[in-house]
């Protein structure tokens, strides 16, 4: 019961963190001199915050539950000395049980809502923020400082995996990438179209970014790791199928608080996370 209360409190902290991210992004927007760019950042913040806290909470609780019941399974596994290319060897079991040495990657980090919420939810975890936009990374960096997790956050400007070291591996990979079909963008509300096209355009079917990200999962996610995606309406099963093609055959398409399929979680079948992922299916 004490652990349930503890993780419920952590989930509430994660939601509060996401709200603070939104507030900080809005503050930046108010000081932005270009009205079109200001509107774009506002739309970006609103779109990401809607589901970010839920995604972070559920991904984090998979690790919380696994640590609680499978500590013996992880006690002799080496930890990595940072979210990038390392090969350290410490008592990973003890640190993981305390929420440490969990390396998190967020591809297309935007304002940082998912990543920073996870860093708040899992004390001592470390995050790598990746985005092709230097402006997005600047906002995430500002938010990380505001939330007190800047010392656990790294930043790389990159198009998907292109600048991430080949040997880097992570325990959690999350993303809320562009998922709007290209032909739909012109029909969106004018305010939405002010958002940078890179943040909207998901290609012909809206799935191009997911194809790029899932293609690197086998290489960059640790054996007992987890992938978590936010998806557009009606895309859940398609994204889950892309995960299964890469060997992450245990998938869950989860609904948001509005009852819409908006999150996909995936793990390898022999992973200790597999049973926990199954519990996320609604």
* pLDDT attached to residue 184: 72
**Domain ranges (residues) in the chain:** 2-278
Burial of 217 (0-12, 13-18, 19+ CB in 10 A): buried
Of 28, 20, 77, 86, nearest in space to 49 by CA: 20
Full-model pTM? 0.72
Residues of the chain with pLDDT under 70: 1-54, 61, 63-100, 187-195, 199, 201, 258, 282
Give me the pLDDT at residue 82, please.
Answer: 31
Whole-number pLDDT of residue 60:
75
**Architecture of the 2-278 domain:** 3-Layer(aba) Sandwich (3.40)
pLDDT at 148: 93
Position 192 scores a pLDDT of 61
Summarize pLDDT for 66-93 with one digit per residue, the tens.
444 333 333 322 223 333 322 222 233 3
**Residue 168 host element (H or E):** none
Q: Cβ distance 53 to 22 under 8 Å?
A: no
């Amino acid at each position: 019961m004490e652990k349930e209360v503890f993780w419920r409190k952590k989930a509430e902290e994660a939601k509060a963190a996401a709200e603070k991210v939104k507030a900080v992004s809005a503050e930046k927007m108010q000081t932005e001199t270009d009205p079109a760019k200001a509107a774009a950042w506002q739309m970006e913040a609103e779109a990401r915050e809607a589901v970010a806290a839920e995604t972070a909470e559920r991904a984090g609780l998979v690790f919380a539950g696994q640590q609680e019941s499978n500590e013996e399974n992880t006690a002799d596994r080496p930890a990595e000395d940072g979210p990038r290319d390392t090969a350290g060897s410490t008592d990973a079991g003890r640190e993981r049980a305390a929420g440490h040495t969990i390396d998190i990657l967020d591809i297309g980090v935007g304002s940082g809502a998912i990543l920073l919420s996870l860093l708040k939810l899992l004390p001592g975890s470390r995050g790598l923020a990746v985005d092709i936009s230097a402006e997005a990374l600047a906002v995430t960096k500002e938010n990380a400082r505001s939330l007190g997790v800047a010392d656990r956050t790294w930043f790389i400007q990159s198009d998907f995996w292109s600048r991430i070291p080949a040997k880097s591996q992570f325990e959690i990979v999350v993303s809320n990438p562009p998922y709007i079909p290209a032909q739909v963008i012109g029909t969106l509300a004018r305010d939405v179209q002010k958002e940078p096209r890179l943040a909207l355009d998901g290609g012909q079917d809206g799935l191009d970014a997911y194809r790029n990200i899932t293609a690197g999962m086998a290489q960059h996610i640790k054996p007992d790791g987890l992938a978590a995606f936010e998806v557009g309406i009606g895309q859940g099963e398609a994204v889950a199928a892309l995960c299964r093609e890469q060997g992450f055959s245990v998938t869950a398409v989860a609904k948001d608080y509005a009852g819409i399929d908006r999150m996909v979680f995936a793990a390898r079948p022999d992973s200790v996370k597999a049973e926990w992922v199954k519990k996320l299916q609604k």
